[in-house]
Amino acid sequence: MRTNKIAIILLALCFYTNLFADIAPNPIKAKSISPKDQTSIRMVSEKVIIDLYNDSSVVKCWFNMENLGEQEKLQIGFPDMNFHYYRQNNNVDAMNRFQVKENGKTVDFDISDPLKYNKDYWKRVKSYQIKEEWYLWESEFKQGESKTIEVEYSLPFGMLKRTNERFFIYLLSTGANWKGTIGKAEIIINLKDVEMDSLIFQQPNNCKITDNQLVWTFLDFEPTTNDDIRVHYNSNKILYKGEEPISPVFIVDENFDKEFDLKSINPNDIVRIEVIKNPEETNKYTNQNNGVVKIYTKDFVLKELERLIEAKSNEKIVLPDYDQLKKDYRLFINEDEVDFTKIIGIKKESVVKLEMIDLKEEQNRIMIGLKK
């Protein structure tokens, strides 16, 4: 049996600064940490689902691991890096926001500092008062054994100095420490209260964007820093917009249209628009206090006029289109000249007279008499 002690980074980190204090991130590249000995454990696949919020993120990871060699004990590590001025995380709080399981069973882990002999690291500690800790747990793989390692944790947002630009980082490159290539990696970022148009950029370029979701897929690869996932977004664009307004009820040519889009109709075809706001009137059409919009088209008005003519006139009259009708005719109802849209809603039973009068020197007339 061979025993290897290895400190290997499994996944991501995110830098955080406080908006209300003069502090800024001071990045340390975790990739400088390398295993003391080689391992026979291969990462067969990796799936990461990140729920990204404006002020935080929740990360869930599934790693399918396989031992390609003899039985092996090793120490697996995940870095918890926070680069703050004058700010230290409470260990209890940190452990509450980090969980790890192997084959569905919760694994105990410790917080320790693997850099205590790193002179460069301590120079940074003295200069910037930063703190870097690791979550470490012991694991053992039998010969040929496969395991699923689940990791779940939460992070505050990362933010650039003196800007409202925020970011999230997931380091795929640290997976290069495992045996051979990674068979498949899928990284999914769900944008929760981060608006799509607030995205500044996302890397690498093989990102597919659909329905507020960013997806990267990698196959049979040995990750490098070029594969590290980085999303930058602008918190200035993330504003509370209030409750989603309720669309009014549209009635087009006396027909309800629940999914009506004003862009779907040519404005030149509209002859009349009525907006009803009075609750007593809107209650006739809807039980929601969202108003009613009635739209009438030229074709509808023309058909209404033809309906009355056919019902009340002995003459067979072929009317021109609506625009030409307005040029050729004037409409009178009970001796008063009115617009042709007044024809809407007149019942044929109420019409006692309908005449078409041709005049040579002026516009022709349509005379309608209604019961009083």
Confidence at residue 256, expressed as pLDDT on a 0 to 100 scale: 84
The per-residue pLDDT for range 81-102, each reduced to its tens digit, is 453 223 334 444 455 678 889 9
Number of H helices, E strands in the chain: 5, 24
Q: Which CATH class name applies to 2-237? A: mainly beta
Would you give the distance in Å from CA 329 to the centre of its chain? 55
Of 158, 242, 241, the residue nearest 200 (C-alpha): 158
Average pLDDT over residues 101-108: 92
Average pLDDT over residues 162-175: 80
- Is the pLDDT at 140 greater than 80, yes or no? yes
DSSP H or E run through 105: strand 105-106
Q: If you average pLDDT over each of 114-118, 144-148, 208-212, 307-311, which comes out highest?
A: 144-148
Domain ranges of the chain: 2-237, 312-370
- Is the pLDDT at 122 greater than 90, yes or no? no
- Is the pLDDT at 58 greater than 60, yes or no? yes
**d(Cα 290, Cα 301) in Å, to the nearest integer?**
26
Lowest mean pLDDT, pick from 144-158, 246-260, 321-335: 246-260
The per-residue pLDDT for range 186-201, each reduced to its tens digit, is 999 999 988 888 899 9
Q: Write out the DSSP string of 38-67.
A: ---EEEEEEEEEEEE-SSEEEEEEEEEEEE
**d(Cα 233, Cα 167) in Å, to the nearest integer?**
6
The per-residue pLDDT for range 319-370, each reduced to its tens digit, is 888 888 888 888 999 989 999 988 888 888 898 888 888 887 788 888 888 9
Q: What percent of the chain has pLDDT over 70?
A: 75
Please, what is the end-to-end C-alpha distance for the chain in angstroms? 108
